[in-house]
Structure 1
Amino acid sequence: MTTSSASAAPHTNGTTEGQPSTANESTQTRSFPEPKVAKMSKEGVDEDRWSVESVLKNEKLSYLENTDSPIPFFHLLERLKTTHRAGWRRFGIDDCESISDHMYRMSLITIMAPASLTSKLDMAKCTRMALIHDMAEALVGDITPVDNVSKPEKSRREAETMDYICHKLLGKFSGGLNGQQVRAIWQEYEDSETLESKFVHDVDKVELISQMIEYERKHQGSIDLGEFTWVTKKILSAEVKGWSDELLLERLDMWKGFGKDPNWADGTKPESKPTVS
């Protein structure tokens, strides 16, 4: 994606307090029953057409495959640095964070876990998982509901991409062990059954809320991203929920300073100062 000025008018159909949110958790954006904007072409959404090979061909990408070197993998990772998180761009934030920006802060958040979490989690795995969980977007891109790609199809594309990365780019490096580890950690996050994966999903949400507030602050209240506050209701761990509560209170005070009442997903507007552990 190209980077341009973020001066476009903000999205105006945000979720208001008391109304149910329809944001899509996996894509950090809102679901549209009848997508009308930013739709892909019919060819682009044809589930039988998409493949890693078609992306490599269309994007004119070439990575050496089946070598005993990790260098081709290093080059593929560059795309995570230059691909923007698509959900923000619907609000006119064109100079928004990249996929790797998001994963980097997530990884640092994991190492801030308090003793109540570190005593029961494999924290090294959590940090690796934060750095791996969106890796497939290097080729798949950051799919949003307006792209008209079904969730099963999105999962298929991401799994195919991870197989390509871990087998064709890393399959012969170090006996394939590193690629196997990356693939297993990515799958663990997707399955979201272990304590570690559930914690990293929580971290994903609190990182999103942090970024949301920072964009609102940067635009001095001219952009209201309140529809995303719904994700805070999905946080499972008390520790991460405490961080989330603190962030929402920060947002409340910030908008009071703007002299405006922003949107909140139902049940997310803080009423009193939270207790932060």
Structure 2
Amino acid sequence: MIKNAAQTNEPPGPDTSILTKGDVQAADWTPESVLSTMSHRPQENTDSPLPFFHILERLKTTKRAGWQRFDIDNGESISDHMYRMSILTMLAPPSLSSRLDIPRCTKMALIHDMAEALVGDITPVDGISKKEKSRREAETMDYICKRLLGKVGGGLSGEEIRRIWQEYEDSETLEAKFVHDIDKIELILQMVEYERSNEGRVDLSEFTRVGTRIELPEIKAWCDATIQERNQFWDSTGKVPRSHLKK
């Protein structure tokens, strides 16, 4: 099993036009290809929000896949990850919160991985390019916001959710950049917690490089403090994780 790439959610880069073998084999993926396998498919084009409420349950039961490569099988779900992210947005330091629309950031944290209810948690080792991953997620958000929420409250809630999700994907506003950083620090926190709860039997060093891509200095400070906690933990075990080895 490949164990050489960290799990993160980045906006598309310059290499995203490349289709991998995995993309070619799965080029016919659509939301319908998942929906057709569901025993209780959500009802579409109704003015009730209940079908949308039910699709969210899949976020509660779908595990974050990156940790499973390290035999952490009973780890966090997608919604676990988004919940703590949403709380973190509320604790932005004053130097950031004074420049941010915090309620919008909190919504963005709760929305940014919503497409994974159908797409699943695709990680860099899955052989799916960022371009293909983005296509699947965009089509899923269109399904959610138009076919499940298009007639709910005049469709305004669905339109707002779709706009906020796209803002996160485009990563151009300060709010989006902040939430991208929050996505990364939440992963770093979880990495340290899994290493500690497993008493040093699992080394998740490959995820530490996610922290190097944090942009905002206030969130970088949180990351540095978390990595310091991690170093203190590993020192207490008498073991040396890979990230401590001399390069």
**Structure 2 length as normaliser, TM-score?**
0.90
2:67 maps to 1:62: no
What SS does the aligned partner of 1:23 have?
coil
Q: CA deviation at 1:140?
A: 0.2
In proportion to residue count, which structure has more helix? Answer: 2
Contact 2:2 2:125 in 1 (8 A): no
Aligned-partner Cα distance in 1 for 2:79–2:24: 25
Equivalent in the alignment of 1:46: 25
2:160 maps to 1:181: yes
Aligned-partner Cα distance in 2 for 1:192–1:241: 18
Report % sequence identity.
Answer: 61
Q: CA deviation at 1:58?
A: 2.1
Aligned-partner Cα distance in 2 for 1:207–1:149: 23
Q: CA deviation at 1:148?
A: 1.9
- Mapping for residues 11-90 of structure 1, pairs under 5 Å: 22-23=5-6, 25-26=8-9, 46-90=25-69
Contact 1:45 1:147 in 2 (8 A): no
Unaligned runs of 5+ in 1: 1-10, 15-21, 28-40, 270-277
Equivalent in the alignment of 1:30: none
Equivalent in the alignment of 2:72: 93
Q: Deviations over 1:75-107 (max 9, x none)?
A: 000000000000000001000100000000000
Equivalent in the alignment of 2:103: 124
Aligned-partner Cα distance in 2 for 1:168–1:142: 22
Equivalent in the alignment of 1:141: 120
What SS does the aligned partner of 1:193 have?
coil
Equivalent in the alignment of 1:17: none
Count of aligned residue pairs for this structure pair: 237
2:199 maps to 1:216: no
Contact 1:230 1:265 in 2 (8 A): no
**Amino acid aligned to 1:122:** D
Q: CA deviation at 1:266?
A: 9.5
Q: CA deviation at 1:13?
A: 5.8
Contact 2:6 2:66 in 1 (8 A): no
Of 169, 173, 196, 1:190 maps to 169
Equivalent in the alignment of 1:235: 214
C-alpha root-mean-square deviation of aligned residues, in Å? 2.3
Q: CA deviation at 1:146?
A: 3.3
Q: CA deviation at 1:127?
A: 0.2
Q: CA deviation at 1:49?
A: 1.7
Contact 2:59 2:117 in 1 (8 A): yes
Unaligned runs of 5+ in 2: 11-20
Aligned-partner Cα distance in 1 for 2:141–2:3: 35
Equivalent in the alignment of 2:140: 161
Q: Deviations over 1:64-84 (max 9, x none)?
A: 111111110000000000000
**Amino acid aligned to 2:182:** V
Aligned-partner Cα distance in 1 for 2:131–2:177: 21
**Amino acid aligned to 2:8:** E
Aligned-partner Cα distance in 2 for 1:169–1:265: 49
2:84 maps to 1:108: no
Aligned-partner Cα distance in 1 for 2:139–2:130: 14
Of 226, 229, 236, 1:250 maps to 229
**Amino acid aligned to 2:9:** S
Aligned-partner Cα distance in 1 for 2:188–2:179: 14
| 4+ residue runs over 6 A deviation | none
Aligned-partner Cα distance in 2 for 1:12–1:180: 39
What SS does the aligned partner of 1:264 have?
helix
